[in-house]
Amino acid sequence: MAAMLAIKGPQTLVSARHVLLRQGPWLAGHFITTSARAYHSKLYESADKAIEGIKSGDTLLIGGFGLCGIPENLLKAIARRKDIEQVTAVSNNAGTSDYGLGTLLQSRQIKRMVSSYVGENKEFARQYLGGELEVELVPQGTLAERVRCGGAGIPGFYTLTGVGTQVETGGIPIKYSSDGQQVLIASDPRETKVFGGRKYLMEEGITGDYALIKAWRADELGNMVFKYTANNFNAPMATAGKVTIVEAEEIVPVGELKPNDIHVPGIHVHRVIKGEVYEKRIERLTLRQSTTDTKELPASMKQRIHIIKRAAREFKDGMYVNLGIGMPVLASNHIEPGITVHLQSENGILGMGPFPRPGEVDADLVNAGKESVTVLPGGSCFSSDVSFGMIRGNRVDMTILGGMQVSQAGDLSNWVVPGKIIKGMGGAMDLVAAPNSRVVVTMTHNDKNGNPKILKENSLPLTGVKCVDRIITDKCVFDVVPGKGLLLRELSYGTTVGEIKAITGCGFEVASDVAETY
């Protein structure tokens, strides 16, 4: 039996016919051979060894989406290194308060986050609003493309995403005072340029000192394969680190990964480890319901179901549709029989299926809301930069998403209440900026205090300008007519035109054929 040979000299080639690649501890700097060909192994013996060289003040690119596909072992190793402080972490979000990247927030090792979504991480939001953490909020698709461009040696690019919002004009808070009352650091305005009569923003590429990546399978050369939606930001970030460190669930011999199956080639990778332990938490375990009986549901949920059932009537046979997190994603439960709708999730799914049954749950398969999902036959999974290329490239026919406010001109606000609710824009700005994609907003007609959410002008920061085509509420359906304003198209059962006028914060026209339809 041939044994693996280790040669310390970097110029030495090993002459051997076969190597048993599964034996022994592998160390970086060793050469391994198969069929008399020599390879430089990138394997390290542990996560602690692999992160050597990371220091305070470094910029870390961290793969993952929520808790899906995060480099668990590498993050734990950094958390053990209390001498690593004041880092800038580039990641779509920061996991949860007690796991993933959130543990580095708890240990106060992060100075600045570059992210698209704060979401439900209360510690993330608390540190941000309390002036303890700098947060540079970036639209999700822009973040993915900035990293992709950084890895491809492209210094910048132009995009429609964020035009007319604070992304363009600047002023998004990056750092608050300790009492949360003052903005000490704010985002800068973007350079703009007109192409084809439309304004675009210039965004700069992102690179990092180190990239921390999670793979499903990898070989000693650093070639990687991801599983389902664990691809997400891992693929583009693997290309943009000066030093890219990969942890994999399984290390396989060179040659076992077929060339056509490799997602990221080893040229981008410098260090590889086999992860010791994988907890692989699911942030929002969601199972398929066995019944559709709504009799026992609370009034708020009945209201939501009422809205989404009407929203489901927007689906047309053959459509490619993106459903926003929360209420919109539930519309997929009400697609009419005989209609085929291809659901796209911006974290990297086309052909998204229903929530799984017990026993079908896979931690590597979640939607944009971090909920466990399935993929239908014929579906596919891909990286976040590829996903947003579909969106910006007008391949998605329709987007259904939630809203906090919509103006009579179709301006949308849905990502922040300054100083109070910090969700982050996520992928919403990218979705509503696609010029040929129909945008449908689902929301309650009024907020919990009875204030109108459909207004003459938005009071909250904008997600998109003149981007909404239709508004579906629990009371009615409005169309946004370009240059004219709102047109009342449908009424919910039991609702009158007079009532709609009383609870809406702007004027509107009434269609001649308006009727109660849902």
String of DSSP letters for 27-94: -TT-EEEETTEEEE--B-S-HHHHTTT--TT-EEEE--BTTBT--HHHHHHHHH-TT--SEEEE-S--
Residue whose structure tokens are 């240059």: 483
498: Cβ–Cβ under 8 A, 6 or more apart, which residues? none
What is the token pair recorded at 317? 């046979």
CA distance 114 to 322: 25
What is the token pair recorded at 275? 């992860």
What pairing do the DSSP bridges indicate for beta strands 375-381 and 349-352?
Answer: antiparallel
Cβ-based neighbour number of residue 196 at 10 Å: 5
Query: In whole angstroms, how far apart are CA 382 and each of 228, 344, 379, 385, 390?
Result: 7, 11, 10, 8, 11
H-helix or E-strand spanning residue 306 = helix 299-311
How many alpha carbons fall within 13 Å on the CB side of residue 377?
Answer: 0
Using DSSP, state whether 222 is helix, strand or coil.
Answer: coil
Best CA proximity match to 424, nearest among 368, 350, 363, 365: 368
Query: Catalytic residue numbers?
Result: 346
Q: Beta partners for 375?
A: 352
**DSSP3 helix / strand / coil % (the chain, rounded to 5):** 20, 30, 50
172: Cβ–Cβ under 8 A, 6 or more apart, which residues? 137, 166, 186, 187, 461
What stretches of 140-296 show up as alpha helix (H) in DSSP?
A: 140-151, 166-169, 234-239
| CA 57 to chain centroid | 25
CA distance 374 to 366: 8
Relative orientation angle of helices 384-392 and 140-151, to the nearest 10 degrees: 120
Are 65 and 51 within 8 A, CB to CB?
no
Best CA proximity match to 72, nearest among 41, 98, 110, 109: 98
